[in-house]
Amino acid sequence: MKIAILGAAGMLGAKLANRILEGALGDAELTLIDRVMPNAQPSATSLQLDLADPDAMDQIAALNPDLVFHLAAVVSGQAEAEFDTGFAVNLDLTHRLAEALRTLNTNPRLIFSSSLAVYGPPFPTPVPEDFRPTPASSYGTQKAMAELMLADYTRKGFLRAQSLRLPTVSIRPGAPNAAASGFLSGILREPLHGKAAPLPVREDTAVWIASPDITVEGLLHAANLPWETANDLNPLNLRGISVTVSEMLDALERLAGADARALVHAAPDETVARIVTSWPQSFVTSRATALGFPVNTDIDEIIREYCAQYAPDVLRR
């Protein structure tokens, strides 16, 4: 099976590539695509490509992929600050990708990383599975529009797209990105490395999160579903856990000590707070559950997952 990952240099893309190279989707001929050079993998092809390049979509089509993971996006904070860039990348390039795959006439599968940001207030808690998306951010708008477009390309038989609405991913390793949700990784990651971390929202802010490993396993699980099953649940809200910031900090203190928690300091940011509090805090995910999509046990598990990979020896218990 020929597989392409768009956004392969990103955190999820790189983890996904590793799992595919471990055999998570069987025999795979894998191409890693990103506008920055994806990490070289001995058994994968790396292709440095800006999706906005005039011939980028032709190059992707030339790979004749059976399965594409489209993880490339302008993140929420940047899409809010750079309105035109957000629409150009998150909507127009996704549309051009769909067109490129359509020309293949092979009906390839496409897994599209959408987001809980397609929802906006007012909404009930938890959000029912049939609730209307009214995004309160440009990022959420672009994701919701792309979902609709891909569903119609799918209905017309041009490709077989499945849109997965990911929870906020935490704990992201590495440097902070421009996502409004970035602090939901930072307030745990930075203290685990002995660094200070700003908290832009109130501690009673509740969020819907999943760990990087669980998120990647969800992407793989979707790709392994029979198409009829996947299409029946399109778009699909993925499973997450609902936690408050103070519960996250309690877990940090429980596992890494009061010194770690003390590194988090209030630094209110109205723009970030407005975006993050416009997202639902919890969802009904009975469809994803019935299909066996994975979920984290609790916030402690999420912290342990991070530490095992990036910060060994810092946990007190």
Q: Which residues are catalytic?
A: 139
User: Judged by CB under 8 A, which of 156, 226, 228, 317 binds its own copies?
Assistant: 156
User: Judged by CB under 8 A, which of 144, 222, 264, 302 binds its own copies?
Assistant: 144
- What is the rounded distance in angstroms from the CA atom of residue 66 to the CA atom of residue 136? 34
- Three-state secondary-structure class, residue 113: strand
Q: How far is the CB of 36 from its own copies (least distance, A)?
A: 28
Among 114, 102, 75, 101, residue whose Cα is nearest residue 4: 101
Residues 6+ apart with CB under 8 A from 292: 221
Q: How far is the CB of 178 from its own copies (least distance, A)?
A: 18
Among 231, 229, 235, 234, residue whose Cα is nearest residue 292: 229
Among 243, 169, 207, residue whose Cα is nearest residue 11: 169
Q: How far is the CB of 181 from its own copies (least distance, A)?
A: 19
Q: How many residues bind its own copies (CB under 8 A)?
A: 19
- What is the rounded distance in angstroms from the CA atom of residue 187 to the CA atom of residue 260? 10
Which residue has tokens 């609790």?
298
The neighbour count for residue 137, using CB atoms within 10 Å, is: 23
Q: How far is the CB of 155 from its own copies (least distance, A)?
A: 7
- What is the rounded distance in angstroms from the CA atom of residue 140 to the CA atom of residue 116? 8
Pick between residue 113 and residue 142 the one whose CB is nearest to its own copies.
142
Q: How far is the CB of 132 from its own copies (least distance, A)?
A: 5
Decide if residue 286 touches its own copies (CB under 8 A): no
- The dihedral over CA atoms of 101, 107, 108, 109, expressed in degrees to the nearest 10, equals 110
Which string of x and - marks every residue 77-106 that binds its own copies (by CB under 8 A)? Answer: ------x---x-------------------
The C-alpha angle 206, 180, 292, rounded to 5 degrees, equals: 60
User: Judged by CB under 8 A, which of 36, 37, 62, 148 binds its own copies?
Assistant: 148
User: Judged by CB under 8 A, which of 53, 58, 152, 259 binds its own copies?
Assistant: 152
Stretch touching its own copies by CB under 8 A, among 37-45, 147-155, 163-171, 211-219: 147-155
Pick between residue 10 and residue 135 the one whose CB is nearest to its own copies.
135
Q: How far is the CB of 95 from its own copies (least distance, A)?
A: 8
- The dihedral over CA atoms of 11, 5, 58, 146, expressed in degrees to the nearest 10, equals -80
User: Judged by CB under 8 A, which of 149, 220, 291, 314 binds its own copies?
Assistant: 149
DSSP collapsed to 3 states, 206-236: EEEEECHHHHHHHHHHHHHCCHHHHHHCCCE
The neighbour count for residue 316, using CB atoms within 10 Å, is: 10
Stretch touching its own copies by CB under 8 A, among 10-18, 50-58, 149-157, 300-308: 149-157
Near its own copies in 222-261, by CB under 8 A: none
Contact between 118 and 147 under an 8 Å Cβ cutoff? The reply is yes
Pick between residue 35 and residue 102 the one whose CB is nearest to its own copies.
102
Pick between residue 49 and residue 145 the one whose CB is nearest to its own copies.
145
Which string of x and - marks every residue 103-142 that binds its own copies (by CB under 8 A)? Answer: ---------------------------xxxxxxx-x--x-
Contact between 48 and 245 under an 8 Å Cβ cutoff? The reply is no
Pick between residue 97 and residue 302 the one whose CB is nearest to its own copies.
97
Could you list the residues that contact its own copies (CB under 8 A)? Answer: 83, 87, 130-136, 138, 141, 144-145, 148-149, 151-152, 155-156
